[in-house]
Amino acid sequence: MRQDASMELTAITFEVDARVATITLNRPDSLNAFHREMAEEMSWAWEQVRDQDDIAVAVLQANGDRAFCTGIDFTSDMEWLTPQNRWNSIDPGVMLSPKFHHKVWKPVIVAVHGLCAGGAQYFLNEADLIICSDDAQFFDPHANVGIVSALEPIGMLARGVPLGEVLRWALMGTEERIGAETALRIGLVSEVVTRERLRQRAKELAASIAGRNSIAIQGTVRAIWESLEMPRQIALQNGLAYALLGNEPEAISQPRRNEKPRVR
């Protein structure tokens, strides 16, 4: 196992083993709330995942017993988000999220435990697979403190979470907590496991994907995500172009007939 040492990391850890990059939020005393340093380190981490050919999959998890992430750290320096010139303000999701800014088309698996609040949704909204432990709680404190909640719920809608569920999450503040089973029912997560099993299950999923053709997997991920921004006919044409570009002829002519389908 190795850790890339080209950047000194304080808010996260970054390790690569067996083609899987494991990114761990590492501010447990602050409930893994993000600040400028974490955002910068996450941006660096997504660039590593994108650019290192020996990485096929990324897993995002968090240290600490209580929380995966509780959004932005309001006790930190906020000037990076709210400069004097408001037209220069940035969306922290640009730095925290892998897809549309960093162009990471390698699969991202997020393993959530405990509290997952507000801006933590940035980490989820562009994930490919989200699993959680049975103690996970998803909620949005924006309404409690009179702050507009817009970017996070819009991202949830793009994932296909039903409108009514997103509105309850955004409008009810800390009174509305989505538990693990509800998160599974509404499609916010795809699997619920025990806390003890969470990290191991994320590793299993990552190892399974990492054992496949990374070029083909990246084409699949990119075609699916880009289709969300396109009319259906254009998305199909784009998908066909990616299939022609990324599919190796020998893979098409010699399918693995002995591989048994998985049922879940």
Domain extents in the chain: 12-210, 214-253
pLDDT at 1 exceeding the cut of 60: no
Give the separation between CA 88 and CA 33, rounded to whole angstroms: 23
The tally of CA atoms less than 13 A away on the side-chain side of residue 186 is: 19
What would the pLDDT profile of 65-82 be if each residue is shown by its tens digit?
999 999 999 888 888 887
Instruction: Please check whether residue 19 is in contact with residue 28, taking contact to mean a CB–CB distance below 8 angstroms.
Output: no
- Report pLDDT for 81: 80
Helix or strand holding residue 45 (H, E): helix 36-51
Predicted local confidence at residue 51, as pLDDT = 97
**pLDDT 10s digits, 34-67:** 999 999 999 999 999 999 999 999 999 999 999 9
List the one residue out of 68, 190, 43, 179 whose CA is nearest residue 129: 190
pLDDT category at 2 given cuts 50, 70, 90 is low
CA distance 132 to 200: 12
Distances (CA, A) of 5 to 25, 56, 115, 123, 171: 17, 19, 30, 23, 42
The mean pLDDT value of the chain amounts to: 91
Q: 232-246 and 214-227 are packed helices; what angle lies between their axes, rounded to 10 degrees?
A: 170
DSSP 120: G
What's the confidence (pLDDT) of residue 197? 98
Architecture of the domain defined by 12-210: Alpha-Beta Complex (3.90)
pTM of the entire predicted model: 0.91
Confidence (pLDDT) at 92: 85
